Structure 1
């Protein structure tokens, strides 16, 4: 069981399908007392005509219950790690085959990946990365705040060998895989977590270095095709939505900087 909220801009026109922003941990993203306040940010930016009209979808992780609990507040549902930190295609399939079609039955939005962004914080960030990494034909933009590119998803068998892998595998996959046509914003703080799963700040720096190295190698070898369009913000914050929330307006302007507000 999960919940989702849909933000419909006041300038919504079904004849001109708007951009799409899909954000994980929807219960935190829409909370007016939280750090992100994504609907309010969209209101301001769209009204100021600094980003195009954008439809927002804010979705929670699943919860192992027949009915979604009414008292979770800003807390995370209990199936979050299994969905968000897995490197498999399961969460992406749910997103693309169930969630988006359910929303599209009522509200139209663009099918152009360059006009679609997916994002989140912590494990919501790596979940967003996994969806776009596996399906760049669906999402061309990623917003990653305090991303958990660590070994949360790693499970060991009885002989100590990996049964499933964690997000710390991604820098190697980026270096050894074809470049996807993705625009990525990475944010993390130097006081982020350091525990049995890994060091978050170092993990995010490894992601950036891998993306930059892939571009450099492609340039040096003259490979045709896309390059990663990547920007980052290293702050001094901890494992909190606060720093990402503070820069979210600038991030959205950067993500859709090629588009005119009326496009």
Structure 2
């Protein structure tokens, strides 16, 4: 079969002459209606892994797919090194499309299937510089240079990155050489274009997904502007379906199809008035049917109301030798239906819910209620595990001088079995996550990596990866458990919120075969520090990644 595939491999060769590097223009986005500046607070840190000046780079390069990483889609299993590869060099670049699914008689991925796409670029850089990948697709930065993806450095000036993209996606991408200086990382003028911008298509069939939106408004003839694909906005008229809540107000309905994983939209009246959400961006929903009223977006299929929090005090563990409080968030509808729910275990539980929590807390319940109402996440249970005076020992792995293995036994052998007996949970690893910040972020990744049979989803916010004992053990580990991993950091403060330490772990995981925007997501929150308000602000994006709607 392999010889037949090699004999019938389809390669599309295309050459282009690289343009001389030029200064980056003011950051502009092709994702959305019109263009917007891609400017944010300064942040970042010097990258010590960049290739120093003097390393020979350039020449001709050819993309070859001989790796054996596996792509597991919904009902589609294709053995390839990403299905789709780009290799460019200084002077000449070529791209190779490897459509193994077609050649082997397998169905190509449909839209909604994620295809690993590997990008390679050969580029000479100076110390403290890196090559960044920028595209108009949201997974590639959405045209905003501050959100471009830093690539992974390799030998001889080669930079690589594998990103998961939807099958059939048409998109543009380019490579940029940027300084990793923390004061310039979010600066749209920090960048030099390396080669020409390219347009490409991810292999597979793009199948639009339909959404229905109901809208309450006093406009005479409202319209719906939405993103059909990256860089392509469309307009449709709402149709009136009934009276509103008061004279002069009406109920409207519109249908829209999009090639994106979510419907990103803005209602407007056609004369310049636009209904925008509080954050000034787009309304976004993954639900098939949604309702928008007074700026509040909710999925039509979600249970109304709010979740509730149950507190259990004095929970004693024989493994840690202490007692603590447990805070349990039950999503809306839990008390009215008989369904089972996934569970997220979160550390520093006393900071998660109450308004009197440290620095205002995380407000986990409010975030979950809002995202569930919008249809942006699958409803899940949150188990907040309070810390104790032994936090430093419990959250630090033994390789760094702590006793995290005892904390792990408490969670796995005592608390989780009790939760699964007491509540309607889905107890499998794929439906169980763990999340924390700072040392809690470190111990979260430790727990999932060491115990993937218990925890299949993990989020580390501003993880304390400057503790390198366990990180080095992770680097030496040949294992690559099937996990869904979120990593992030800010860029402000004396340590820049461990930004480069987080990049170090990200690159380590990418070299092990994890894929950005697929099994792994990484974000830099420019200008953010190391405290609860910043983690609270990122929490919605974390939950969207960990528990997308089914």
TM bucket normalised to smaller: 0.7 to 0.9
- Secondary structure of the corresponding residue to residue 184 of structure 1: strand
- Contact 1:146–1:240 (CA under 8 A) maintained in structure 2: no
1:50 correspondence with 2:50: no
Equivalent residue in structure 1 for 2:448, among 119, 122, 132: 132
Unmatched tracts of structure 1, length 5 or more? 63-77, 152-166, 220-227
- Aligned equivalent of 2:470, options 169, 193, 205: 169
**Higher relative helix content:** 1
- Counterpart Cα distance in 2 of 1:192 and 1:133: 29
Whole-angstrom CA distance in 2 between matches of 1:229 and 1:203: 20
Matched, 1:86 2:86: no
CA contact (8 A) 1:26 1:60 kept: yes
Q: In the alignment, is residue 255 of structure 1 matched against residue 546 of structure 2?
A: yes
**Cα shift readout 1:42-101 (whole Å, capped 9, x = no counterpart):** 111122222122111001123xxxxxxxxxxxxxxx210100012442211100111112
Conserved? CA contact 1:46–1:53, under 8 Å: yes
Candidates 464, 472, 491, aligned match of 1:190: 491
Q: Which residue of 1 aligns with 2:482?
A: 181
Q: Residue 3 of structure 1 corresponds to which residue in structure 2?
A: 325
Q: Find 1:31's aligned residue among 333, 349, 354.
A: 354
2:426 counterpart of 1:110 = yes
Separation in structure 1 between the aligned mates of residue 354 and residue 420 of structure 2, nearest angstrom: 24
Q: What's the offset of the Cα at 1:32?
A: 2.5
Q: Does the CA contact (< 8 Å) of 1:122 and 1:147 recur in 2?
A: yes
SS of structure 2 residue aligned to 1:104? helix
Rounded to whole Å, the distance in 2 between the matches of 1:192 and 1:183 is: 29
1:95 counterpart residue number? 411
Q: Which has the higher strand share?
A: 2
Distance 1:243 1:102 in 2: 32
**Once the 2 structures are TM-superposed, how far is the Cα of residue 193 of structure 1 from its aligned partner?**
5.0
How do residues 151-162 of structure 1 correspond to structure 2 at under 5 angstroms?
A: 151=467
Aligned equivalents of 2:494 and 2:501: distance in 1? 10
Q: What's the offset of the Cα at 1:143?
A: 1.1
CA contact (8 A) 2:420 2:427 kept: no
After superposition, the Cα gap between the structure-2 partners of 1:135 and 1:169, relative to the gap in structure 1 and judged at 3 Å, is: closer
Question: In structure 1, how many angstroms separate the alpha carbons of the residues matched to 2:337 and 2:452?
Answer: 24
1:209: which partner in 2?
Answer: 507
Match for residue 530 of structure 2? Answer: 239
Q: Displacement, 1:14?
A: 6.9
Question: How far did residue 191 of structure 1 move?
Answer: 2.0
TM-score (norm: length of structure 1): 0.74
TM superposition shift of 1:124 = 1.0
State the Cα distance separating 1:256 from its structure 2 match.
2.2
State the Cα distance separating 1:149 from its structure 2 match.
1.5
RMSD across aligned C-alpha pairs, in angstroms? 2.3
Greater C-alpha Rg: 2
TM-score normalised according to structure 2 size: 0.37
Residue-by-residue CA offset, 1:212-247 (whole Å, 9 max, x unaligned): 11117xx9xxxxxxxx81111112222112222112
**Paired residue secondary structure (1:215):** coil
Give the match for residue 156 of structure 1: none
Distance 1:142 1:14 in 2: 27
Q: 1:129, CA displacement in angstroms?
A: 1.3
Secondary structure at the residue paired with 2:513?
A: helix
The worse-fitting range, judged by mean Cα deviation, of 41-50 and 206-215 is: 41-50
Q: Structure 2 unaligned segments of length 5 or more: list them.
A: 1-322, 399-403
Cα deviation for residue 35 of structure 1 reads: 4.4
| d(CA) in 2 for partners of 1:238, 1:131 | 25
Instruction: Provide the rounded CA distance (Å) in 1 between the counterparts of 2:466 and 2:408.
Output: 19
User: Following the alignment from structure 2 to structure 1, what is the Cα–Cα distance between the partners of residues 412 and 473?
Assistant: 26
SS in 2 for 1:11: coil
Residues 14 and 107 in structure 1, CA contact (< 8 A), matched pair in contact too: no
Distance of aligned partners of 1:49 and 1:81 in 2 relative to their CA distance in 1, 3 Å threshold: same
